[in-house]
Amino acid sequence: MFKTVLFAGLTTLIATGQLVAGQHFSPNDTELGTVSGGSNDYLFLKSPREGADVTLTIRPVAGQAFPSEIERINPGTSALADELKINWYAQASCSAGIQQLRSAGPGGTSVQNINGSRNAIAGRSNIQSFDVEAVDRVCIRWAKAMIAQCGWPFEPGAGCDFEETFSYDATTPVPRSSPVRISGSCVNSQLPTTDNYGRLTLRCVFE
C-alpha cells in the first residue's frame, strides 16, 4: 500500500507555551479557541457534507456464453482511488503537547511525530476513504443481480435497469470497506482511537 500523510498541510494554530493557567483548547468546525476549565485533549476528523461522488462503468467479461463475470472498465484503478478521497477536516489538541498522530485506512498507513513541539493543529487533509475492491464489489454484485433477473442482453424497464445509485455514510458504510482509523498520543497520555466513515455516492452503469 502507498502512504498518505494524514495531517499534511494542516495549519499550526497555537504553538507550544501559549496556553495560560486555567485554559484549555476547545474544538469546533473551523478553528481552535481557548476556554476556561481543565485540560481537554482530543483528536477527531469530520467528513464534509458532499463526500465522494463516483461513477463506475462496468460490463460482462468478453467471451462468456452467459455473463457470470463482470469487470470495471472506467475509471482505472489509480484514478478510482483518487476519486475515493475525501477532504476531511481534522483537529488535534494536547495541553501538554502532541507526541504522535497516526492514520490507517484504505489509502495506507501514516505516522507523524510531533514530539511535543505543538499543542494543537487543525485544517483539512485529502484522504482515500474507501477500498477500491469494496466499491467494485457493490457494482459487480448489482450487475450480477440484474443479469440474473433480466437475462443478457436486456432492454431497460420493468425492474431491469442499466444504472443504479447507492448512497453510503457513517450509519450505512460501504460493505467490507476499511474505515479511516485515527489515533495518537500526547506527551503524557494517549488520545482516543476512532473509526471514521465518510459519505459516498456511487453510481454503477452498464457500458
What's the number of domains the chain is made of? 1
**181 occurs within a structural domain:** yes
Q: Report the pLDDT value the prediction gives residue 7, as an integer from 0 to 100.
A: 52
Q: Report the pLDDT value the prediction gives residue 17, as an integer from 0 to 100.
A: 33
Q: Report the pLDDT value the prediction gives residue 39, as an integer from 0 to 100.
A: 52
Q: Dump pLDDT digits (tens) for 32-76.
A: 343 333 457 999 888 888 899 999 999 999 988 788 899 999 999
- Given a cut of 50, the residues of the chain with pLDDT beneath it are 1-6, 8-38
Give yes or no for a contact between 42 and 92, defined as CB atoms under 8 angstroms apart: yes
**87 occurs within a structural domain:** yes
pTM exceeds cut of 0.75 = yes
Give yes or no for a contact between 159 and 149, defined as CB atoms under 8 angstroms apart: yes
**15 occurs within a structural domain:** yes
Q: Report the pLDDT value the prediction gives residue 24, as an integer from 0 to 100.
A: 38
Q: Give me the domain span that covers residue 124.
A: 11-206
**1 occurs within a structural domain:** no
